[in-house]
Amino acid sequence: MNPKDDALDELVGYEVADRWGDDQDVHVHGVARLGETPSPFGGKRHPDPCALVIFGVTGDLAHRKLMPALYDLGCHGVLPFGTTIVGYGRQELRDDEFRALLQSSIDDHYGSESVDGSLCERILMTPRYVQGQFDDPSGYARLAAVLEDLDAAGTRGNRMFYLATPPSQFGVIVDQLGASGLARKGAFDGASAGDGPAAGWTRVVIEKPFGRDLATAQELNRTIAAAFDERQVYRIDHYLAKETAQNLLVLRFANGIFEPVWNRQFVDHVQITAAETLGVEHRGPYFEEAGALRDMIQPHLMQLFTLVAMEPPVSFDADAVREEKLKVLRAVRPMPPDRVERFAVRGQYVQGMVGGEEVRAYHGEDRVAPDSHTETYAALKLLVDSWRWQGVPFYLRTGKRLAERVTEIAIRFKRPPVTMFRDAAAGGGLAPNALVLRVQPDEGFSLRIESKMPGHGNHLQPVDMAYSYGTTLHELPFSAYETVLVDAMEGDMALFNRGDQVEQAWRIMEPVLRAWQTAPERGIPIYEAGSWGPEAADALIARDGHSWRRP
């Protein structure tokens, strides 16, 4: 079935079950004009049709995230006609079997009774599958032949390669894309492919983790640079695509009340938390290799940190924003190798109660070594040597099997210098003002202030001035994966990491990685599942006279 030009004007009704999961999406009944719909962010989004080539298409990421996101883009009317999904994997599949696999991903996510069948027909229109090993040149030759057919059929020479594979395969795939000519170095905007004529654009999207340390990240960057122009490379961090993370810059720079106090004179400290109640589940082998520091802090929390600490960019152009984020990373004070324990804490969960149910220890999880020293909790203290932030500590923490599931950024301001209300305040002291931006589960933000309690006398209590997307918007905007997919299709790099940013973040992590790698025989601090982490983490922040928030 080939797309018809007049189908652009077709109205497609859709009905998607309400949901509130990891990506905080809520879609409601509505009507979308397929191919031309107002964006949830305002204005219209018009990505070019392309061949979306997914390496590792039979894996977990494609099943749980990518295919549901593509279906949602179709619901929003954003996925352009002519876009064709091409799978590359090691399994042997016919095209019809591949189509059924993609359909099952959508059905499993939403429930088959909630899925719009006619819409799926359009999204899954004639998908193609190429079988091959990731290091097999003949497989890439077959892929090239399929892409040439699709160029003539409507993808206009536009190609997006999505690496949804284990990280060990990133360099292998990039090497083969370069050697086969599929990378088309320089074809970043459709203007040209190298020295040849206009031939559409080529982009590569690379999942995290990007390297295991500084050396491997640098090696991967060199491999990529040999095959692609930097303007073709989209290093994904779906946390930056979450609505609250994007809204942070608007809160800072579009409101006159925040930016004047966003500095060392008024901010006492900053806490960035990503807490999960879940354990490692089926990801035991991956987590054994990664750990909490590599899995969450280096790729995700460091990016949120840069959004909080960066200087105002000259514009919201991708390069301008990413340049300011890089400056922040370069200003982070290096951790003394002989005193890492004063700046970094790790932990591992043992048996405990979560949500009223007893859960097993990390050592008891599937495919986890019984003597593993992998951290399931990590906390860091960062200091930024800049005019704006000198002396203000930034605390980052993440953990599995903690008391609550929450990701938030909390900016705590200094207490007022005059304590005339000390006796009137609840608990005998004024609580510090705090601006809290909730990334998940219910996206929004709140400002905690002191207020007089109604009635006779001067009695104070802290109150929250709160805003929640879920209770005030008729329809939430795109999920994180929807956003990064459509941004990559449009060539918008603002939410993607540049190579030098990734390397600088690894430089900050290097002393911690070395210290933890050289001292496994001393054991690892433990914490009970369902708690807020190890006691060593409380001591880390208590040394500065602070305490962790308990959301």
DSSP per-residue codes, 334-392? PPPGGGGGGTEEEEEEESEEETTEEE--GGGSTT--TT----SEEEEEEEB-STTTTT-
CA 64, 68, 70, 76 dihedral sign is negative
Looking up tokens 């020295």 gives 195
The reported pLDDT for the residue numbered 410 is 96
Q: Show me where the domains of the chain are located.
A: 5-236, 240-415+480-487+494-542
Higher pLDDT pick, 154 / 2: 154
Range 5-236: architecture per CATH: 3-Layer(aba) Sandwich (3.40)
- Choose the weakest-confidence range: 252-266, 363-377, 477-491, 528-542: 477-491
The answer to whether residue 93 scores a pLDDT higher than 60 is yes
For the chain, percent of residues with pLDDT exceeding 90? 50
Give Rg (Cα) of the chain.
Answer: 25
Query: How do residues 125-159 score in pLDDT, each as one tens digit?
Result: 788 999 999 999 999 999 999 999 998 888 889 99
The reported pLDDT for the residue numbered 350 is 95
Q: How far is CA 517 from CA 336, 338, 375, 524, in A?
A: 16, 14, 11, 11
The reported pLDDT for the residue numbered 534 is 97
The answer to whether residue 482 scores a pLDDT higher than 50 is yes
pLDDT bin (cut points 50, 70, 90) of residue 112 is low
Residue 389 near residue 262, CB atoms below 8 Å? no
- Tell me the C-alpha distance between 370 and 85, whole Å: 41
For the chain, percent of residues with pLDDT exceeding 70? 83
Peptide bond into 40 cis (omega under 30): no
The answer to whether residue 549 scores a pLDDT higher than 60 is yes
Query: How do residues 81-92 score in pLDDT, each as one tens digit?
Result: 888 999 999 989
Catalytic residue ranges: 300
pTM comes to: 0.85
Range 240-415+480-487+494-542: architecture per CATH: 2-Layer Sandwich (3.30)
* Residue 527: strand pairing partners: 349
pLDDT bin (cut points 50, 70, 90) of residue 385 is very high
- Tell me the C-alpha distance between 141 and 88, whole Å: 12
Looking up tokens 């997307």 gives 469
Q: Angle of helix 318-331 relative to helix 499-517, nearest 10 degrees?
A: 30
Higher pLDDT pick, 431 / 489: 489
The reported pLDDT for the residue numbered 115 is 66
